[in-house]
Amino acid sequence: MPREERRKSKTWGLPPGTPVYVGRQRTEEVGITVIDYNADTFDEKELTCAEDCVPFRDRPTVTWINVDGLHEIDVIEKVGKAFDLHPLILEDIANTSQRPKVEDYSNCLYVVLQMFSHHATPRAACAAWVPTTCSTP
């Protein structure tokens, strides 16, 4: 009787911390939005490349960097390098099937949660898993 062949993971055989996109096949362009704020100011910008995030790294404000298009691994790696993110965080970001969790790293708090967005239709909501990395003060 033949054995059932198991499907191998895309990350099978790779060292831990290797970012590999796991999720639905995507082809859209990557979009990067930065929301930078404090008690007195609010600034929202669309960026053209990951390197444009670097000036926000050392600001005393709160900065949220939203990357639409996690299928582009090089963008994840560039943002990760700019903010000195642990390789396991980058691997988790690329895996869109993560469950909600919180992990405390030495230089940041990594949070995966489900983000909701509102639609015009009453009682309609869209949920998406959002990996979030917050620097500790």
Tens-digit pLDDT profile for residues 27-85: 788 899 999 999 999 999 999 998 999 999 889 998 888 888 778 888 989 989 988 88
Instruction: Give percent above pLDDT 70 in the chain.
Output: 75
Phi, psi of 98, rounded to the nearest 5 degrees = -65, 145
What are the backbone dihedrals phi and psi of residue 81, each rounded to the nearest 5 degrees, phi first? -65, -40
Query: Is residue 17 a part of any domain in this protein?
Result: no
Give the predicted TM-score (pTM) of the model: 0.69
Which residue segment(s) compose the domain that 91 sits in?
A: 31-135
Number of domains in the chain: 1
Q: Cα(128)–Cα(102) distance, rounded to whole angstroms? A: 17
Q: Is 9 part of a structural domain of the chain?
A: no
Q: What is the dihedral of CA 70, 75, 76, 81, to 10 degrees?
A: -170
